[in-house]
Structure 1
Amino acid sequence: MKEQTQYGFYLDTTKCTGCKACHVSCKDRQSEVIRNGNDSIEQGVPQIEGVNWRRVYEYGGGTWSTNADGSFEQSVFSYYTSISCNHCNEPVCVKACPTGAMHKRREDGLVHVATDLCIGCNSCAQACPYDAPQLDVQRKVMTKCDGCYDRLAEGKQPICVGSCPLRALDFDTMENLKAKYGDGDSHISPLPSESITSPNLIVKANKHAGRQGEILNFSEV
């Protein structure tokens, strides 16, 4: 029996410069199309303040030190991770949803929100370790990355992938991504362990992966 089609993302953190083109293009798409509970496209929906379906985390650390001769040494580093919903194989947001509004589509494995069923309880957001579901406080429903399913139907890539100037992002079936990039590296900070949700995300690790640091741009994400 043929396995179910499952789409996912590839992220090359050796290429990502933190330019946030993916973040901005995704945000712009919110003002053009937003998915409602009837799988139709609602035109002209304004951007939702404070809701970011894709976020670019700056992770860094290190120190400066002064030598006896007055010269300086440093071990400072930083790198970027561009993250949205990973349309996980074991989506904890779906398990946490009390109404069935959060669901995983059979045809492509994308995790979507049926807004007609959503009660805005925020249970999915509290469960997700990637901060993917985000509440539209005006409509009182959850929103999230939908994999640009309308663009996929037209044979196009998600808007974030097409806007990346360094080609640090890719999106395809997981079968095709693994054939192209392999299994990738273990998920690096600040990403949570893959064991929590079995995310459909292949990561190529930055050379500084594994070093102790912290998120440096909390105000942006």
Structure 2
Amino acid sequence: MGQKGFYYDATFCTGCKACQIACKDKNDLYVGEFFRQVFDFEGGIYPDVWGYSLSVGCNHCDKPKCAENCPTGAIYKRQSDGLVVQDRKKCIGCKMCIWSCPYGRPQYLAKQGKSGKCDGCADLVDQGLNPVCVDTCPLRAIEFGDIEELRKKYGTNADMKGLPTSATTKPNMVIKAKKL
């Protein structure tokens, strides 16, 4: 198995938040806690206005800052498929992963006193299934699979307005950005 990753097509995404809701439901998250989150951006001056939605989960980076800076090793990269996962039992709630991730994806789970993050639905992937965000998207704007196959199919762009540069962490995602 190779490194897994996501493809996101911003030209299809309508910002419906179905992926966000499915993720919250699967992970039993409380209000304000998001492992996948949809952001809406807009700007310009009439008649040159623009807007787009951006769905962001963990990017399962080649160089995950969250794992690199976790003092207990609670966050780590799986050897089998490159998913960046967490052993929440080892988490001490220091928030170092939250502060380290340039994408802001680990979240503090106040009722548990620990952090949590998207793990790419590793339990489903282990069964040969897709992450819930992928299968829930009504417009199929999110795809999951071997990152090299996704790059062959869609290109290598991992940058988009609203995200930090991909050069730092080498995220395993491909983005079809909306033309602004």
SS at match of 1:50: coil
Equivalent residue for 1:140, pick from 110, 113, 122: 113
Residue type of the alignment partner of 2:161: S
Other-structure match for 2:84: 111
CA contact (8 A) 1:30 1:48 kept: no
How big is each residue's C-alpha offset from its partner over 1:93-119, in whole Å with a ceiling of 9 and x where there is no partner?
A: 111111111111111111111112111
Other-structure match for 1:18: 15
Equivalent residue for 1:128, pick from 101, 104, 110: 101
The correspondence of residues 147-158 of structure 1 with structure 2, limited to 5 A, is 147-158=120-131
Find the aligned partners of 2:140 and 2:90 in 1 and give their Cα distance.
Answer: 37
How big is each residue's C-alpha offset from its partner over 1:21-77, in whole Å with a ceiling of 9 and x where there is no partner?
A: 11111111113xxxxxxxxxxxxxxx333210111111110113xxxxxxxxx2111
The correspondence of residues 173-192 of structure 1 with structure 2, limited to 5 A, is 173-183=146-156, 185-192=157-164
SS at match of 1:125: helix
Higher Cα Rg, which structure:
1
Residue type of the alignment partner of 2:34: N
Equivalent residue for 1:63, pick from 25, 45, 52: 45
Residue type of the alignment partner of 1:51: E
CA contact (8 A) 1:59 1:189 kept: no
Equivalent residue for 2:34, pick from 37, 42, 52: 52
Find the aligned partners of 2:52 and 2:112 in 1 and give their Cα distance.
Answer: 35
SS at match of 2:145: strand
**Ranges of 4+ aligned residues in structure 1 off by more than 3 Å:** none
Equivalent residue for 1:195, pick from 141, 155, 167: 167
Residues 116 and 186 of structure 1: is their aligned pair in 2 closer, same or farther, counting only changes over 3 Å?
closer
Equivalent residue for 1:204, pick from 156, 166, 176: 176
CA contact (8 A) 2:158 2:173 kept: no
Relative to the length of structure 1, the TM-score reads 0.78
SS at match of 2:167: helix
How big is each residue's C-alpha offset from its partner over 1:128-153, in whole Å with a ceiling of 9 and x where there is no partner?
A: 01111111111111111011111112
CA contact (8 A) 2:63 2:170 kept: yes
Root-mean-square deviation (CA, aligned residues, Å) is: 1.3
Find the aligned partners of 1:104 and 1:162 in 2 and give their Cα distance.
Answer: 24
CA contact (8 A) 1:135 1:143 kept: yes
Find the aligned partners of 1:179 and 1:188 in 2 and give their Cα distance.
Answer: 19
Residue type of the alignment partner of 2:129: K
Structure 2 gap ranges (5+): none
Structure 1 gap ranges (5+): 32-46, 65-73, 209-221
| Percent of residue pairs bearing the same amino acid type | 44
- The number of residues matched between the two structures is 180
1:179 positional shift: 2.5
Residue type of the alignment partner of 1:123: M
